[in-house]
Every structure is written in C-alpha cells, then in structure tokens.
C-alpha cells in the first residue's frame, strides 16, 4: 500500500511544527544583578536564577530566591534580606512574560537580535507589569540574553529608611544576563 504524497506532506508539516514547538531553552545559573546606590555602592548579584523560554511562543519565565543575592559586605546582605526585601516573608521573585517579537529571532542563524519582553514581575508581594528591551544572542544551540531596566522601589513596597535615604537610590537598575541551553 502506498501513501499518497499529500498525506506525507501533511505528516512532515505536523512533525516539523511539533518539533519546533518543543524548542525550549533553559538555565539554572542565570545572572541577575542590581545597583541601587546613591553615593555608595549597593550592588547585589544572583547567579542562581532559573529561567526557561519557548522559542516558538516567546513565553519566558524567571525565578530566583531573594536570599541568593550576594553583596560585597555581609552587613549589606543582612540588611537587604531583613529590612528591605523581607526574604523570610517573600522568599522568591518571579517574572512571567512573553518576548513579543520572538518571530524576528532566527534560532537557526547565529546573530544578535533585539527583543522586547512584557510581563508581570512578582516581587516583595507585589505584582506589577514590566516591559524591557534587550538582546538574544544565538550561537549554535545556545542562546544568551542581555537586558537592563529600572524599577522604582516604592512600586514594590520597598521602603528606604530616612537614615540612609542619601545612600540608597529610589530606583534600582536591574541587569539580566543568562546563558541558555536547548532543553532536550
């Protein structure tokens, strides 16, 4: 019994779209850092951010443990966790969103592609819409992200005591750098 050409073509298209829709990228050691100093270096870095994104749909998600941020001085880290982020009460931060122009990224061709991400950042018990621009760098089967954006600390109910208001900025500059591998 022979299978007709249209049936084979349909099967080929179905398998191709199924495989493409399974093209997900993952990291468990993403790097998210922030700078919130005004007159003093108040920088934290978290190198254990977990993230996954779907190349077909553009859906992307980041999750990190707040206590994973490291600082130059232990006292800054203690104040960050106890007084500002209340890490015991709000142990993680999550971003769920979408790369809205994922169709402009060619995952079969090495290059750097500008992207825009929109979604919800859930931090310190507050969920707020966020939009950021950045790049996806495709190199073979790996993808790297690079983005930078600012957040207003008061938007997330993070208060700055008057005693240190001259040392801490009202905004934090956040940098996202992740190296993804294809999830197999």
The counts of H helices and E strands in the chain are: 2, 8
Q: Which residues of the chain fall short of a pLDDT of 70?
A: 1-22, 39
Q: Is residue 73 part of a domain?
A: yes
pLDDT of residue 46: 98
User: What is the pTM (predicted TM-score) of this model?
Assistant: 0.84
Based on the structure, what is the number of domains in the chain? 1
pLDDT of residue 38: 73
> What is the spatial distance between Cα 40 and Cα 38, in angstroms, rounded to a whole number?
5
pLDDT of residue 164: 78
pLDDT of residue 167: 82
Q: Is residue 146 part of a domain?
A: yes
Contact between 120 and 129 under an 8 Å Cβ cutoff? The reply is yes
Question: At 76, which CATH number?
Answer: 2.40.128.110
Q: Is residue 11 part of a domain?
A: no
pLDDT of residue 83: 87
Q: Is residue 124 part of a domain?
A: yes
Q: Is residue 18 part of a domain?
A: no
> What is the spatial distance between Cα 128 and Cα 116, in angstroms, rounded to a whole number?
17
Q: Is residue 15 part of a domain?
A: no
Q: Is residue 7 part of a domain?
A: no
Residue 118 pairs with which residues in a beta bridge?
98, 131
pLDDT of residue 22: 59
Q: Is residue 86 part of a domain?
A: yes
The whole domain housing 77 covers 24-182
């Amino acid at each position: 019994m022979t299978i007709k050409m249209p049936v084979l073509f349909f099967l080929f298209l179905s398998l191709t779209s199924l495989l493409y829709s399974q093209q997900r990228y993952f990291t468990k050691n993403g790097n998210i850092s922030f700078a919130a100093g005004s007159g003093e270096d108040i920088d934290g870095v978290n190198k254990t951010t977990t993230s996954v994104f779907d190349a077909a749909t553009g859906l992307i998600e980041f999750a990190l443990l707040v206590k994973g941020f490291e600082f130059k001085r232990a006292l800054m880290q203690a104040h960050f966790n106890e007084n500002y982020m209340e890490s015991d009460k709000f142990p993680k931060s999550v971003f769920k969103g979408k790369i809205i122009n994922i169709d402009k990224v060619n995952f079969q061709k090495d290059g750097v592609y500008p992207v825009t991400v929109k979604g919800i950042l859930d931090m310190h018990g507050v969920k707020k819409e966020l939009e950021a621009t950045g790049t996806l760098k495709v190199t073979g089967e790996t993808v790297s992200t690079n983005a930078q954006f600012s957040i207003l600390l008061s938007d997330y109910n993070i208060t700055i005591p008057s005693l240190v208001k001259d040392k801490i900025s009202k905004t934090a500059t956040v940098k996202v750098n992740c190296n993804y591998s294809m999830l197999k």
